[in-house]
A = this chain, B = another copy of it.
């Protein structure tokens, strides 16, 4: 059994309004790795946000007094802090020049995913997609319409974690499959009931794709070939742990 992770290269610079499904199908065909049924695609949040026009010209942002105060304390651009606050449901931690927040989607991450890098020059910030599951569904449907294949989609972003150093890529939107795989009630070869029973496959797929994404060479999409999964409806909300079940937070 083998899984292949294939980088999709040669995508043009993505502009607001771009048809990502069309660009991905085209680029995959051009490099002779056309998409096939039951494959999965991991798509970097950056190009989804760009295609959806989730870009804000910083010169149009008027920071609130609270944003100004935090910015002063953290030595940051108050307009960026303002955007972070607008994208947030709650501040989880605020220290050492960092804002860890819970976004409106329910993700806990640094700076609410507001990003200044890789966004076509100037003073422009990119925000996370408003509804990343919907973004994923649209790409999935676009690919079905254009290439006639059923694929699973993961929109991914790199997040920090508690307890451990370094960032890892995780799923922030999914379509076409369930992001968790459950082994509840199953037994191992010795007949023992399995203890570690729910595997976050969408996050593991996102992490795997990040091995290709790199940071400098602009690879924003990867094909996962050979990973058996159960097609179906899924939502990234399944990956968000309710506070009352979360002993790690």
Contact = CB atoms under 8 A, between A and B. Distances in A.
A186 to B, nearest CB: 6
Interface string A28-43: 0000000000000000
B5 A188 contact: no
Closest 10 CB pairs of A and B: A166-B200, A208-B208, A162-B248, A207-B207, A162-B162, A204-B207, A117-B192, A108-B163, A93-B247, A3-B5
B119 A165 contact: no
Contacts of A115: 195
Given A1-B9, A161-B248, 8 more contacts: A3-B212, A4-B5, A98-B247, A121-B190, A121-B191, A158-B199, A168-B207, A207-B208
Interface stretch (A82-90, A137-145, A235-243): A235-243
16 contacts: A3-B211, A93-B247, A108-B163, A111-B195, A116-B195, A117-B192, A117-B195, A158-B196, A160-B248, A162-B241, A163-B240, A165-B238, A166-B203, A199-B215, A208-B211, A211-B227
Q: State the number of copies, please.
A: 2
A195 B118 CA distance: 10
B193 A117 contact: yes
A73 B137 CA distance: 45
Contact of A4 (B3, B120, B193, B246): B3
Interface residues of A, number: 75
A217 to B, nearest CB: 9
Contacts of A170: 164
Given A203-B166, A211-B3, A249-B162, A190 B239 contact: no
Contacts of A186: 215-216
Contact of A246 (B6, B107, B162): B162
A165 B240 contact: yes
